[in-house]
């Protein structure tokens, strides 16, 4: 943790970047109480300031999540082109509801606002990769591909 923190300037202006860095490095993609305390200590600010930032932005998670984060866009262009049906398909395919993590800890299913891929709506993101022009079949196939590549490791 300390090694990671030292990569960032000791300034509140770095707080968002620090939280991103910690969350990305965490195997469960979340911000633990312990991590937030360490950040507050590093920046020499009250822990409440760090906690309020970490809870204000939806891009941060205080709860542990899966190894892969599936984010389905719910903004109007994607909604108009069927993202609600895709949410059902993904929920069924993963066996979890929105905001939940699979029992094996592999996937967390979330919704998000625009991913910047409206020209290819409906879209979703799995980890850092955006998948557009989604159909039910394509959504299932993306999940199956990620599962296969996990199993091959
Ligand atoms: S509205 Fe879904 S990617 Fe922009």
Helix, strand, or coil here: 71? Answer: strand
Q: Which residues line ligand 1 (CB under 6 A)?
A: 73, 75, 77-78, 114-115, 117-118, 121, 123
> Which residues of the chain fall below pLDDT 70?
none
Ligand 1 center from residue 96 Cα (angstroms): 23
Comparing C-alpha atoms, which of 70, 68, 72 is closest to residue 87?
A: 72
pLDDT of residue 108: 97
- pLDDT, residue 59, reads 84
Return the best residue to mutate from 87, 117, 120, 129 for the ligand 1 pocket (most ligand atoms within 8 A of CB).
Answer: 117
Of ligand 1's listed atoms, the one at least distance from the Cα of 76 is 1
* The two three-digit tokens of residue 87, written as one number: 């949410």
Distances (CA, A) of 53 to 44, 59, 149: 15, 11, 35
> How many angstroms does the Cα of residue 146 sit away from the middle of ligand 1?
22
What's the pTM? 0.84
Domain residue spans of the chain: 2-56, 68-151
DSSP 126-141: ETTEEE-S--HHHHHH
CATH, domain range 68-151: 3.40.30.10
Omega of the bond leading into 152 within 30 degrees of 0 (cis): no
Instruction: Name the residue among 67, 86, 68 with its Cα closest to residue 78.
Output: 86
Torsional class of 44: left (φ above 0), alpha (ψ -120 to 50), beta (otherwise): left
The pLDDT, as a whole number, for residue 67 is: 93
Q: What is the pLDDT of residue 144?
A: 97
Tell which one of 123, 129, 131 to mutate to probe ligand 1, the residue whose CB is within 8 A of the most ligand atoms. 123
């Amino acid at each position: 943790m300390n090694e990671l923190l030292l990569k960032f300037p000791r300034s509140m202006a770095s707080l968002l970047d620090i939280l991103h860095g910690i969350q990305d490095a965490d195997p469960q993609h979340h911000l633990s109480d312990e991590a937030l305390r360490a950040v507050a200590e590093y920046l020499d600010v009250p822990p409440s300031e760090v906690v309020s930032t970490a809870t204000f932005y939806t891009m941060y998670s205080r709860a542990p999540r899966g190894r892969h984060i599936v984010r389905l866009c719910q903004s109007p262009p994607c909604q108009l082109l069927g993202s609600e049906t895709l949410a059902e398909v993904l929920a069924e395919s993963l066996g979890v509801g929105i905001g939940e993590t699979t029992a094996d800890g592999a996937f967390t299913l979330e919704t998000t606002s625009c991913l910047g891929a409206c020209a290819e709506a409906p879209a979703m993101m799995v980890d850092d990769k955006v998948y557009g022009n989604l159909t039910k079949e394509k959504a299932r196939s993306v999940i199956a591909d990620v599962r296969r590549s996990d199993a091959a490791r």
